[in-house]
Amino acid sequence: MKNSRRDFLQKLAASAATLPFLSSYHTFANSGLRPITLSQSPTLKVALMGLGGYASRVAEAMQSCKRAKITGLISGTPEKLADWGNRFGVPETSRYNYENLDRIKDNPEIDAVYVITPNALHHDHVIRVAKAGKHAICEKPMALNANEGQEMVDACTRARVKLLVGYRMHFEPKTVEVVRMRAAGEFGKIKFFQGQCGFRIGDPNQWRLDKDLAGGGAMMDIGIYAINGSRYMVGEEPIWVTAQETKTDSVKFKEGVDETIQFQLGFPSGAVASCLSTYNMNYLDRFFLNGEKGFAEMQPSTGYGPIKGRTNKGELTQPHVTHQTLQMDAMAGIILDGDVPIVPVDGHEGLRDLKIIDAVYRAAATGIKQELELG
């Protein structure tokens, strides 16, 4: 199993590195990068910060990891620290709150902190983690805007620690296969991508509908999958964006909290993307990629899986593996061994998405097409 995964990824890397379509996509083509490997050791010692819904999922998934384990906990809720500490075998000496978390700098049992708090807190939390000399894994969206994101990238660079973003789809086998096929030219010249991402959000009092904590609405939370997906599916960086916002419920979706935004991206090759981000429609988790020689469609495309999809060549049959297990093992390789994933998950990747989100909001507010310079 381990060998077949390694073989697969090595083949993927080898084929991708020779291909013109990937050369416009920022990292891979010219750099002689190593593919991910899953060697047995060492193990990445991870502290989870923000013990909420998604951290629960990550913690369970990490029980099956080969290279990453939970060795620390950071929470504002003492009962959770006691409960999670007992469940996951984290001693009291490695449990922290938001006041004393800076003390992790003296804890050799922590290599990295996975920041899984509400969006508005990522900036401060990641910078504190970096200052403590630990690697940061940060949930999406990496920050509220590109300025914050740049500060986080700079802080991690200064501290000589890595900053990764929790883009679990970058390791999902069917997604990786479609990226491989596109990079191998199997769909021909890419012409069009469609990303439709949304769900009907419930409780009107949750932080996701509070601009101060969420930084926006659906776009920050779920629309980002269409933005990020359009980049790795098309394999280029967009150069312009247009956007239109619709709001049907201004009580639930207050000023600055977007309910539904449609947006379009243009790419240097002439390919275009048409995307929908919403908190007001269910059954909306679909990617469609169209090229001159073929297509890929995935539905569901970014949920927790199993992801389903097919191309013009048939069904995608790669087995489902819990996304967060794959992600954390791969991130251990990135942090400890310098492995380079097929689709990047570093802070620059997160920052590019934030620049696009900023531009989507500007385009929606002004009705004016925004040029993008993602760097």
Residues near ligand NDP (CB under 6 A) are 50-55, 75-77, 80, 116-119, 121, 139-140, 166, 168, 207, 213, 221
Q: Which residue is nearest to ligand NDP (CB)?
A: 52
User: Which lies closer to ligand NDP via its Cβ, residue 278 or residue 370?
Assistant: 278
Residue 167 makes CB contacts below 8 A (sequence gap 6+) with: 140, 228, 327, 343, 345, 349, 350
Is 372 within 8 Å of 359 (Cβ atoms)?
yes
- Known catalytic residue at 134: no
Q: Closer CB to ligand NDP, residue 213 or residue 281?
A: 213
- Least distance from ligand NDP to the Cβ atom of residue 39, Å: 26
Q: Which of 177, 221 has the CB closer to ligand NDP?
A: 221
**Sheet order of strands, 112-115 included:** 95-96, 68-74, 44-49, 112-115, 135-138, 163-165
Report which of 208, 193, 336, 178 is spatially closest to residue 275, judged by C-alpha positions: 193
Question: Considering beta carbons, is residue 95 or 264 the nearer one to ligand NDP?
Answer: 95
* Other Cβ atoms closer than 10 A to 309: 23
Q: Which of 225, 232, 279, 361 is catalytic?
A: 225
How distant, in Å, are the alpha carbons of 106, 160, 253, 294, 370 from that of 98? 16, 23, 29, 50, 38
Q: Which of 45, 134, 140, 174 is catalytic?
A: 140
Q: Which residues contact 179 (CB under 8 A, 6 or more apart)?
A: 232, 233, 235, 342, 343
Residue whose pair of structure tokens reads 């750099």 in the numeric block = 31
**Radius of gyration from C-alpha coordinates of the chain:** 20
Q: At closest approach, how far in Å is the CB of 285 from ligand NDP?
A: 12
Query: Least CB distance from residue 287 to ligand NDP, whole Å?
Result: 16
Q: How far is the CB of 53 from ligand NDP (least distance, A)?
A: 3
Shortest CB 162 distance to ligand NDP, Å: 18
Q: Across-strand partners of 142?
A: none
Catalytic residue status for 174:
no
Min dist CB 207 to ligand NDP, Å, is: 5
Are 194 and 274 in contact by the 8 Å Cβ rule? The answer is yes
Q: How far is CA 101 from the centre of its chain?
A: 24
Nearer to ligand NDP, 53 or 108 (CB): 53
Residue partners of 203: CB distance under 8 A and separation at least 6 = none
What is the CB neighbour count within 10 angstroms for residue 125?
24
Between residues 77 and 366, which has the closer beta carbon with respect to ligand NDP? 77
Residues taking part in catalysis: 140, 225
